[in-house]
Amino acid sequence: MATDLKSSVDALQSTVNSLKSSVDALQSSTSQLPLLYALALVGIIIAIIAVILVYRKIAA
């Protein structure tokens, strides 16, 4: 009985450790997201400015 309980606790501990390492990996990936969003926003703004300049040159 005690051996079954110990093996269950050990299995649960290894599952928790695996989950913790997965959460740590996920947090390190999501820490890069704000930089990615900022670069995308800057790229969109540059593209809009380029379209406006090209349109003004065609219209002139």
* DSSP at 1: -
Q: What angle do CA 5, 10, 14 make, to 5 degrees?
A: 150
Q: What angle do CA 56, 59, 60 make, to 5 degrees?
A: 85
- Residue 52 clears pLDDT 90, i.e. is over it: yes
Six-digit token pair at 28?
A: 């390190």
Provide the mean pLDDT of the chain.
Answer: 89
Predicted TM-score (pTM) of the model is 0.49
Q: How many helices (H) and strands (E) does the chain have?
A: 2, 0
pLDDT digits (tens, 9 = 90+) for 16-40: 999 999 999 888 888 878 888 999 9
